[in-house]
Structure 1
Amino acid sequence: MEATAGGSTATASAACTPAPSRPTDPDFLSCVLHPPTPSSSSRPDDDYAALRLLLLRRKPPSALNHRMEWRCNGKGYVAYRNFLLRRIDGGAASSSAHSTPSNSGRWAPSPAHAALSEVDSWSSSRDWRSNSGQLTRNISLSSKQSEPERHVRFSEPAYSFVGMHCIFDNCKASVTILKFGHASSDLLAYGASDGSLTVCQVSDPPSVLQRLIGHSKDITDFDFSSNNQYIASCSMDKTMRVWEISKGTCIRVVYGVSSQLCICFHPVNNNLLLVGNAKKEINAINFSTGRIVSKLTFDDAVTALDIDHTGQLVFAGDAQGCIYTVSVNSHTGSLSRTHKNKSNRSKSPVTTIQYRTFSLVARCPVLLSCAQNGNLFFFSIATDSKGYLTLICSLKLASPGQSIRASFCPLLSLEKGEFIVTGSEDANVYFYDLARPKNSCVNKLQGHGSPVIGVAWNHGENLLASSDSDGTVIVWKRAKTS
């Protein structure tokens, strides 16, 4: 009896002893704590959202890395299972491909996992690039890369393209500038050195809508109205013209005393046009009457300008490489200069001024400036200081012989960087990351036969248009990303 009692006591004591704590899967806990479906009479506990958020934030970092590295690309459960098995079996043996200026920017699998390429998403990492009108396969492999760098590069590919969407080669003169319509992925226009302005559509089938003839010398710049019904263009022939696109007619001509070099519509008051000229002025012109309502004088010819989305700040570049911030009244059109930046010490004319509302690098509005000597400058904009510019970084390219333009690239969702695209003298379109000065070139497109001058993205950011000195305009189709 004593033995039995003693045994019972021992058993009871063991039952009262707490079991050693073991880590619990946060996914399991979040499922267990999930409340029943709320009805009109019952609501889940208010603390549930905070508790579940805490559990999700305490997930193991390895699971987070798995999900960030995995790209579905239309694949299913088998592909994801193979992806996880490969990570468990191979560990750090799997590596991504290294991008060179000649490849498409996608990352290809290492040879060790080539056998899995038929069933998982690594096969979609192989991309195609266009070379002289023909699509050629381009895969570059590198097995020596650190884990942090591999993780960042794989999370989101660089800018890759599946080839040429369409080509316009009806112009026989150099195409100096091209732009897509506002909030439009189909409407494209380009101006040439013979004074012609061509409006076309890039959807299937691509076609030329209007050929606007009126300028007698080079088209220096143009801009679409907010509803894409009108185009305002300026030229070396000292005139500014307004065109009605649907009819293909010129409805207004404003004559100047010097070459008109840059132009843009005011984004808030579309009845206001801002025009920079070789007489060192920016003129605010009434769209309806063609009269100058305000003017502002600078130190040299105003060669490029852009305006912020609020319509309160204008950024202008001159022939000496200086960049000015100008305050504009949206109602009256009155102009006043606020700041002057002299980052371009070589005193080369500014060919591109482009404003962007947000940057992943600067976390604020930014400005891109491109000079004729190949210098690219990236500024942050202090909106609380009336547009004061602070230089973040710069990039020196090969000195071009022509006024080559540049443009911001669409924002990538995961990869941090400031990407720009620009033409070049070697007939290629180059993509650069301004935040990576030692290895800034991330991709290039080959297909033009002469120096590439202009580049422009459409509103949907799936098409890139580029123009060259022979009059050819190529529209490139960007690869789809999840």
Structure 2
Amino acid sequence: MAAADSASAPSSSQEAERPAAPSMPTDPDFLSCVLQPPASSSSRPDADYVALRRLLLRRKPPSALQHRMEWRCNGKGYVAYRNFLLRRIDGGSAHSTPSNSGRWVPSPGPALSEADSWSSIRDLRTNSGLSRTVSISSKHSDTERHVRFSEPAYSFVGMHCIFDSCKTSVTVLKFGHASSDLLAYGAADGSLTVCQVSEPPSVLQKLIGHSKNITDFDFSSNNQYIASCSLDKTVRVWEISKGTCIRVVYGVCSQLCIRFHPVNNNLLLVGNANKEINAINFSTGRVISKLNFDDAVTALDIDHTGQLIFAGDGQGYIYTVSVNSHTGSLSRTHKNKSNKSKSPITTIQYRTFSLVARFPVLLSCAQDGNLSFFSIATDAKGYLTLICSLKLGSRMQTIRASFCPLLSLEKGEFIVTGSEDANVYFYDLARPKNSCVNKLQGHGSPVIGVAWNHGENLLASSDSGGTVIVWKRSKTN
């Protein structure tokens, strides 16, 4: 027995002479790229390739796998979310009925357990042959991977919920004031939908009355009312709890933007295509004052004190307007050029403070893709000073942008905007180069509107296909 044992067991000298095993890279992403199927292979990779890739990707940190297993969206898991995303990239649409609005149904496919959901969304696009639809260079992928770890506040765990009952373009969406749950969106068919995004997400009211595209709306400070304006030349005020229209103000031209006065909620400020801003009494529906401009007023916002209005027109100019909170009287103070082109302003957004400017700031977005960031001199009646700007591609759609309020505490000035390539992009306006820091993929049509909730843990985005996606931001330290 001893001889047999000694024959079967190699000696220590033999072990010393045996060549050492070559060191193999331990990065699963690198190995999965090396183990791509040959170009001459069929559209389906062979079983050995699939098994090796699955094995390597399963070697990712256990925390990531556990995170995907625990993640839920409307009761559905990671696999269902992945299948839905594949259908959107393919150009398909998720099926929904009025009874399940706010929920989504995964597309038919092979049943996979949560433990088998070993691929990330990027890996899935590559395996499914969808890289031809969304092409990403290796350099850009490396940048994305770097950003994901260096900018943890931009990490999203996936879709919180999806509303896809609308059949036309969703032109504008907003969360309620100081609300993390109340969401509303207006569509090109004139409908206005109010929903809640808490579990379970559901549609609260469908407000029907406008006959054409809803251009803008605003919540009252207590979220009991919504004021909306439309291309049908009307302004309507809705009582949300009853779902009824309590006031209609008829105009002579398209009404393009609207805001409740933040201090005096009995005052509505409306910009229209007739080159004017009207101050309307909420209770009576009468126009109590108006102010004329050089072109159609396409966007506006009001500072937190209610003393200054910032309005953008159809030629790219931004105006500062003083308003009396009691009487509603309006007077123009400054006229500023936002960019060198004569493109309509699609977004005007005020914010009380910025670490970059150390003053109140203003964001403007023009239809030609120009994003401008201004500081506001409050002691000079709202005079604007351009701090920085960013030129994106020109758009055919009226695409809106928004500050990223939570992430403004980081070193930079971050904004989020939609895009005609169906992605949601995050930009740092303070970076002269490589300003894009992240993007979200999931829409199947051009993304038009974006909005953050009050808790800043949810981001809503809408597209021209009628889909509204609420994204859930991952928790960060």
Q: Same fold (TM over 0.5)?
A: yes
How far did residue 342 of structure 1 move? 1.1
Alignment partners' CA distance in 2, 1:304 and 1:401: 17
Which residue is equivalent to 1:350? 345
Would you say how many aligned residue pairs link Structure 1 and Structure 2? 360
Alignment partners' CA distance in 1, 2:331 and 2:414: 32
Q: Is the 2:338–2:364 Cα contact (8 Å) retained in structure 1?
A: no
Alignment partners' CA distance in 2, 1:436 and 1:138: 26
Task: Report the identity percentage.
Answer: 84
Q: Quick check: 1:202 aligned with 2:197?
A: yes
Which residue is equivalent to 1:259? 254
Q: Is the 2:177–2:454 Cα contact (8 Å) retained in structure 1?
A: yes
How far did residue 137 of structure 1 move? 5.5
**2:85 alignment partner, one of 133, 150, 153:** 133
**1:303 alignment partner, one of 270, 290, 298:** 298
Alignment partners' CA distance in 1, 2:178 and 2:338: 32
Cα deviation, 1:231-281, whole Å, max 9, x if unaligned, reads 000000000000000000000000000100000000000000000000000
Alignment partners' CA distance in 1, 2:173 and 2:394: 22
* CA distance 1:322–1:358, shift in 2 (3 Å): same
Equivalent residue runs for 1:29-428 within 5 Å = 133=85, 136=120, 157-412=152-407, 415-428=410-423
What residue identity is the alignment partner of 1:133? L
Specify the SS of the correspondent of 1:133: helix
How far did residue 191 of structure 1 move? 0.3
Segments of structure 1 that go 5 or more residues without pairing to the other structure are 1-114
Alignment partners' CA distance in 2, 1:155 and 1:310: 36
What residue identity is the alignment partner of 2:438? N
Alignment partners' CA distance in 2, 1:247 and 1:184: 19
Alignment partners' CA distance in 2, 1:118 and 1:209: 40
Q: Which has the larger radius of gyration?
A: 1
Alignment partners' CA distance in 2, 1:414 and 1:182: 21
Specify the SS of the correspondent of 1:424: coil
RMSD: 2.8
What residue identity is the alignment partner of 2:368? N
Alignment partners' CA distance in 1, 2:62 and 2:203: 42
Segments of structure 2 that go 5 or more residues without pairing to the other structure are 1-58, 72-77, 87-118, 124-137
Q: Is the 2:374–2:384 Cα contact (8 Å) retained in structure 1?
A: yes
Q: Is the 1:305–1:314 Cα contact (8 Å) retained in structure 2?
A: yes
Specify the SS of the correspondent of 2:184: strand
Greater shift after overlay, 407-416 or 264-273?
Answer: 407-416
Alignment partners' CA distance in 2, 1:355 and 1:169: 30
Q: Is the 1:158–1:443 Cα contact (8 Å) retained in structure 2?
A: no
Cα deviation, 1:88-137, whole Å, max 9, x if unaligned, reads xxxxxxxxxxxxxxxxxxxxxxxxxxx99679x9x99xx99987626826
Alignment partners' CA distance in 2, 1:315 and 1:435: 22
What residue identity is the alignment partner of 1:448? H
Moved >4 Å (runs of 4+): 115-119, 127-132, 137-142, 152-156
Q: Is the 1:158–1:442 Cα contact (8 Å) retained in structure 2?
A: no
Q: Is the 1:155–1:414 Cα contact (8 Å) retained in structure 2?
A: no
How far did residue 363 of structure 1 move? 1.1
Specify the SS of the correspondent of 2:407: coil
TM-score by length of 1: 0.70
Alignment partners' CA distance in 1, 2:174 and 2:236: 17
How far did residue 207 of structure 1 move? 0.4
Alignment partners' CA distance in 2, 1:133 and 1:439: 27
Which residue is equivalent to 2:131? none
Q: Is the 1:133–1:164 Cα contact (8 Å) retained in structure 2?
A: no
* CA distance 1:433–1:413, shift in 2 (3 Å): closer
Alignment partners' CA distance in 1, 2:258 and 2:153: 32
* CA distance 1:271–1:153, shift in 2 (3 Å): same
Alignment partners' CA distance in 1, 2:333 and 2:313: 15
Alignment partners' CA distance in 2, 1:232 and 1:411: 27
Q: Is the 2:260–2:267 Cα contact (8 Å) retained in structure 1?
A: yes
What residue identity is the alignment partner of 1:203? S
How far did residue 157 of structure 1 move? 2.3
How far did residue 345 of structure 1 move? 1.9
Alignment partners' CA distance in 2, 1:158 and 1:479: 8
